[in-house]
Amino acid sequence: MTKLSKEGIPHHSNFADGFFVHFTDFNQAFVSFRALSAGQQRMQMDPQAPSRSYLKIEEAFKIFGKEPGNQETVIDLGAAPGGWSYSALKRGAIVTAIDNGPLKDPVKSHKNICHLKIDALKYKYDGSKPADWLLCDILDKPEVIFILLNKWISQKWCRSFIVNIKVGRNDPILLLEKIRDSKNGILPFCKHLYIRQLYHDREEITLMGQTKV
């Protein structure tokens, strides 16, 4: 088996052919000739990534099937230490990182980064031109993030978004119902909306979507 093995895993969200072994316990394993990785990565795949949160956004891009393009504008709320900003910068985006906390290299010294050292929840977007992307991974109550996201997409301040909701002690079923509510939820403002719990999430729900034009 080791003679046939190859390093690395598929970086795309399609099925890959090969010989795969998945150990679920010390004495149990599943084998397959096809596997779906959903773009999951490990930190050693990019040692320059400033934080583990980089893994979440990379996975989200693969599942969403959409990612920031060259020179597209990205607003990253709750950016520190820079994992999500780093992922966008790698793709040539122009990033405004908003967080009181410090950014780590190589993000903080990147030519395409603008770091606003303010509370991300108090940031006021001028709305003169929609940002191509809103990224948000803020540690706060779901209700707070709902209000924040609702404002951004109802006002059409962004074209695409990826936002994490921290479940915590909240009932995830009730959260999903609130998101999908046809009157007061997020769904009415979305052209597309995908709701996932990512492989690298920890008690979180990730929302990925596009706003209605």
Which residues are known to be catalytic? Answer: 166
- DSSP letters of 172-208? HHHHHHHHH-TTTSSGGGEEEEEEE--TT-SSEEEEE
**Rounded-to-integer distance, Cα 56 and Cα 202, Å:** 10
- DSSP letters of 14-59? SEEEEEEEEEEETTEEEEEEEEE-TT---GGG-TT-SSTHHHHHHH
**Rounded-to-integer distance, Cα 23 and Cα 51, Å:** 27
Identity of residue 100:
N
Cβ pair 134, 155 in contact under 8 A: no
**Rounded-to-integer distance, Cα 4 and Cα 19, Å:** 8
**Rounded-to-integer distance, Cα 171 and Cα 46, Å:** 35
Identity of residue 153:
I
At residue 71, φ and ψ (nearest 5 deg) are 70, 5
